[in-house]
Amino acid sequence: MSTLEIENLHASVAGTEILRGVDLTVSSGEVHAVMGPNGAGKSTLSAVIMGRPGYEVTDGSVTLDGVDVLALPAWQRATAGLHLVMQYPTEVPGVMLDDVLAEALTSRGRGTGDLAEVLDAEADRINFERRFLHRPLNVDLSGGEKKRNETLQLAVLHPKIAILDELDSGLDIDALRDCSRRVEDLSNEGDVGVLAITHYSRLLKELEPDHVHILVKGRIVTSGGPELAQVLESDGYAAFVPAEDLAADEPATGGLDDLFAS
Q: Which residues bind Mg ion (CB under 5 A)?
A: 42-43
Measured from the CB atom, is 225 or 236 closer to Mg ion? 236
CA distance 256 to 149: 20
Our finding on whether 14 is near ligand ADP (CB under 6 A) is yes
Strand runs (DSSP E) across the chain, as ranges? Answer: 3-13, 16-27, 31-35, 55-64, 67-68, 82-85, 92-96, 136-137, 161-165, 193-198, 211-216, 219-224
Under 8 Å CB-to-CB from 177, ≥6 apart: which residues?
A: 205, 206
Residue from 2, 41, 146, 209 touching ligand ADP (CB under 6 A): that is: 41
First vs last Cα of the chain: how many Å apart? 37
CA distance 157 to 150: 11
Residue from 6, 11, 18, 154 touching ligand ADP (CB under 6 A): that is: 18
> Of the listed pieces 31-39, 58-66, 75-83, 113-121, which binds ligand ADP according to CB under 6 A?
31-39
Q: How far is the CB of 188 from Mg ion (least distance, A)?
A: 26
Q: How far is the CB of 20 from ligand ADP (least distance, A)?
A: 11
Q: How far is the CB of 87 from ligand ADP (least distance, A)?
A: 7
Our finding on whether 44 is near ligand ADP (CB under 6 A) is yes
Q: Show contacts with ligand ADP in window 243-262 (CB under 6 A).
A: 252, 254-256
Our finding on whether 11 is near ligand ADP (CB under 6 A) is no
Measured from the CB atom, is 36 or 193 closer to ligand ADP? 36
CA 76 remoteness from chain centre: 17
Q: Which residues of 250-259 are buried (b: 16+ CB within 10 A; e: fewer)?
A: ebeeebbeee
- What distances in angstroms separate CA 166 from CA 15, 59, 216, 244, one per listed residue? 25, 26, 16, 24
Nearest to 104 by CA among 160, 152, 148, 157: 157
Nearest to 51 by CA among 25, 70, 34, 24: 70
CA distance 209 to 52: 26
Residue from 6, 13, 62, 216 touching ligand ADP (CB under 6 A): that is: 13
> Of the listed pieces 10-18, 20-28, 100-108, 145-153, which binds ligand ADP according to CB under 6 A?
10-18
Q: Which residue is nearest to Mg ion (CB)?
A: 43
Q: How far is the CB of 5 from ligand ADP (least distance, A)?
A: 21
Our finding on whether 92 is near ligand ADP (CB under 6 A) is no
Our finding on whether 42 is near ligand ADP (CB under 6 A) is yes
Residues that bind ligand ADP (CB under 6 A): 13-14, 18, 36, 38-44, 54, 252, 254-256
